[in-house]
Amino acid sequence: MQTRKLGRNGPAVPALGLGCMGLTGIYGEPNEAESIATIHRAIDLGVNLIVTSDAYAAGANEELVGRAIKGKRSAVLLATKFGNVGLSGFKLPEGLSAGHPGYVPQACDASLKRLGVEVIDIYGLHRVDPKVPIEDTVGAMKKLVDQGKVRYLALSEAGAQTIRRAHKVHPLVALETEYSLWSRDVEKDILPACRELGIGYMAYSPLGRGRTAAGIIRDSIPTTSSTTSSCCNRSNRSLERTRPRPRRSRSHGSSLKARTSCPFRARNGAATSNRMLWQPRSP
């Protein structure tokens, strides 16, 4: 597996990463045995950047990842996130919001416990809290680095100016935001900001949540939850304009394919169904 440095200040990471959100049922029925086997196979193949969040299945995804990496921690680069209470459904302590400096260490300690680890390699803010200045949130995250609970910091779904402000408080190694052939908003301001600051780009859903992969049919898209429906509506509109591609052979690939779509190559990066590691070049 090819590796690259994640941003100017980050660790060496594989060109492919494994995003684990789908392993706990957001896009269909979960299968724990298959999911753990998928994570193990990814690690065996060198796809050892494992990405989760406390918001996925209200912490159950982190617990699943923790069980999967038990006994394999030294072989894994572990990334998780906090602050997306709209998805997680967590009830926060009174007086605190998702990005409040008082909540940040609580969220981190809870993730460490669910994952069964002593340190998180990459800790990200899943959604920027509009009630709290980003400097305050990242300042609290910086303390986690100082305490040895976290090695690197990241943001998700942040605008260019927010990224710049956060980066001044503590260097960010990555921004995690959607990027695919049909979701390219980041090209205007956000990718240039990442290049300028030397921040790696982790693109989630680089295959358009599977809609640009082979063998996808519209009638198979689940719409059983508001979360799924909101993303599927946009996917369906895109799919109307997408010419079907030939189905790939089921014999292609390995057990890793059970939870990921076939990878594609992109300039400056490489992709799986959930994560693309983008190494920004200097302008």
Q: Is residue 130 scored above 70 in pLDDT?
A: yes
* pLDDT score of 260: 33
CB atoms within 10 A of CB 52: 27
Q: Are strands 150-156 and 265-266 parallel, antiparallel or unpaired?
A: unpaired
Bridge partner residues of 266 (DSSP): 269
Q: How far, in whole angstroms, is CA 239 from its chain's centroid?
A: 23
How many helices (H) and strands (E) are present in the chain, helices listed first?
8, 12
106-115, 171-180, 243-252: least confident range: 243-252
Residues 6+ apart with CB under 8 A from 96: 102, 103
pTM comes to 0.78
Instruction: At 97, give phi and psi (nearest 5°).
Output: -120, 175
State the Cα–Cα distance between residues 15 and 151, nearest whole angstrom: 20
Q: Is 241 exposed, middle or buried (0-12, 13-18, 19+ CB in 10 A)?
A: exposed
Q: Is residue 231 scored above 60 in pLDDT?
A: no
pLDDT band (50, 70, 90) for residue 215: low
Q: Is residue 234 scored above 60 in pLDDT?
A: no
Question: Could you give the domains of the chain?
Answer: 3-278 (3.20.20.100)
Q: How far apart are the first and last CA of the chain?
A: 27
Token readout for 36 is: 């753990």
Q: Show which residues are catalytic.
A: 56
pLDDT: which is higher, 211 or 117: 117
What is the pLDDT of the chain when averaged over all its residues?
A: 81
Confirm if 194 and 156 have CB atoms less than 8 A apart. Answer: no
Token readout for 282 is: 């200097």
State the Cα–Cα distance between residues 188 and 275, nearest whole angstrom: 20
Q: For 203, left (φ over 0), alpha (ψ -120 to 50), or beta?
A: beta
pLDDT digits (tens, 9 = 90+) for 61-109: 999 999 999 999 999 999 999 999 888 888 888 999 999 999 999 999 9
Confirm if 128 and 87 have CB atoms less than 8 A apart. Answer: no
CA distance to 21, 118, 131, per residue, from 54 (Å): 10, 16, 20
Token readout for 215 is: 């063998």
Token readout for 216 is: 């996808």
- Name the nearest CA neighbour of 149 among 103, 104, 100, 109: 109
SS3 46: coil
